[in-house]
Amino acid sequence: MKIPGSKSILLRLMLLMAYAKRDMTIQNYNPCSDVRELEAALQSYGYRISGQDQTRIFKFDSQLCAQSQHHYAFQQSATAFRLWLSFLAALPGISSQLSLSDILLFRGYAPLQQALEAMGAKIILQGNIMQIQGCQLSGGQHNLPGNISSQYASSLILATPNMQHELLLKLSPFQVSQSYINLSLQMLRLFGGKAQLSGTQVQVHNQALRLPTRFTVDADFSTVAYYAARAALQPPAVKIPLYLNPSLNQADEQILDFLKQMGARVRKTKKYVQIKAAPLKGANFDLKDSPDLMPLMAILALFGQNPSTLKSIGRLIYKESNRIDGVCKALQKLEAKYFLAQDSIKVYPLTHEPGKLKLDTQEDHRLVMAFSLLTQRYPQIQLSEYKSLCKSFPFGYQELIAAPA
């Protein structure tokens, strides 16, 4: 199996590279659609990009940058859009234009806009076109709501080396996806920055970073999570190859603890993680810091010996699709028992073999990977599509569509 590079790490790395106008060769590259959207933005900004397969070479061309009209477009990736918005706001004297899809506007950006405007940028939305007048952002102290996304905080954190003053962010005590904020802080520290989190306050110093000319991206744990869940359901034992930087932690690594809690046998080394199937038991799981695991965990719960409860899931309605709705509709088609509350779902074991049916993935890559666990066990089940896998896991498309017998 081939594990692509972490999209979360890669997008942050590409942003820091752009802020510093550095050249870089990136290995274990993940050419998924989210990353390609940021690639296109970098090219419009002034980067020449070459390479193929899992290697990309980025070279900043100051002449191309001087000629840029600074028109950019984002259709699918909320992460790339939100990170790039701060980047454009931090370009002194540059007027930029962003063309945005309806789904990205729906998923939200207002708290980030308010913080950037408080630091001196001007941002105006007309229809689907956003106009940004950049400046050297002031930095300083700001409060951010944390009930929808961690990406607002990450976007500001990654912009801090180019601010006038250090950044002090007061996070909500109900901050979601804290692990993604931690990853942003870890990446700054990896490259020589000073950044820390104390309670609900983030402090980031405005200092230049020491970026490498070559970087190998960690294995993507959202992909590892799929293979690990699949291995937990049926023998033989599976070894999943890993390349991990001990200084960086990904949110979806929590899948290993969840699988252990369910009874699967998990062994992790520096080079691989081994999963052995075992009778699974239900349990209570808090997904506050790893919400993207919800579809996968909901399907795993169907194979437990007793019910599982997944907590802190309410904001999943704001993802690429309404993932709560997508999972519930799948459970209904399977005639599986579940109970949905405001911020949790209780899923009961599946007690019968489903008939021939098709599950709607809502063109969401996370639903495809989760529902594919069912097609491994029940070949009579079909999925509405697989192409959305290209959003994060382009290497897995052929494997998953060929998997059901």
What tens digit of pLDDT does each residue of 76-135 get? 999 999 999 999 999 999 999 999 999 999 888 999 999 999 999 999 999 999 999 999
Please say if the pLDDT value at position 405 is more than 50.
Answer: no
Segment (H or E) for 156: helix 151-159
Give the chain's mean pLDDT: 93
Mean per-residue pLDDT, 296-312: 97
CATH homologous superfamily of 7-216: Enolpyruvate transferase domain (3.65.10.10)
Residue written as token pair 């090219």? 43
To 5 degrees, how large is the angle CA 237–CA 10–CA 98? 135
Two domains, one topology: 7-216 and 221-402: yes
Residue written as token pair 């993207």? 292
What pLDDT, on a 0 to 100 scale, did the predictor assign at position 342? 87
What pLDDT, on a 0 to 100 scale, did the predictor assign at position 353? 94
221-402 has CATH 3.30.365.10 classification? no
Segment (H or E) for 262: helix 254-262
What pLDDT, on a 0 to 100 scale, did the predictor assign at position 149? 83
Q: Starting at the edge strand that comes first in sequence, how are the strands of the sheet with 122-126 ordered?
A: 71-74, 95-100, 129-133, 122-126
What pLDDT, on a 0 to 100 scale, did the predictor assign at position 284? 97
Instruction: List strand residue ranges (DSSP E) for 172-283, in order.
Output: 195-198, 201-204, 214-216, 238-241, 265-268, 272-276
pLDDT digits (tens, 9 = 90+) for 216-238: 999 999 999 999 999 999 889 99
pLDDT digits (tens, 9 = 90+) for 354-393: 999 999 999 998 999 999 999 989 999 999 998 888 877 7
Residue type, 143: N
| pLDDT bucket at 52, cuts 50 / 70 / 90 | confident
Please say if the pLDDT value at position 348 is more than 80.
Answer: yes
Q: Are 323 and 298 a contacting pair, CB within 8 Å?
A: no
What pLDDT, on a 0 to 100 scale, did the predictor assign at position 404? 42
What pLDDT, on a 0 to 100 scale, did the predictor assign at position 235? 87
| pLDDT bucket at 2, cuts 50 / 70 / 90 | confident
Entry field: residues in the chain: 405
Is-cis flag, bond preceding 236, omega within 30?
Answer: yes
Task: Tell me the backbone φ, ψ of residue 395, rounded to 5 degrees.
Answer: -75, -20
Residue 114 DSSP code: H
Please say if the pLDDT value at position 395 is more than 80.
Answer: no
Radius of gyration of the chain from Cα atoms? Answer: 21
pLDDT above 70 as % of the chain = 97
Strand-pairing partners, residue 311, are: 286, 344
Domain ranges of the chain: 7-216, 221-402
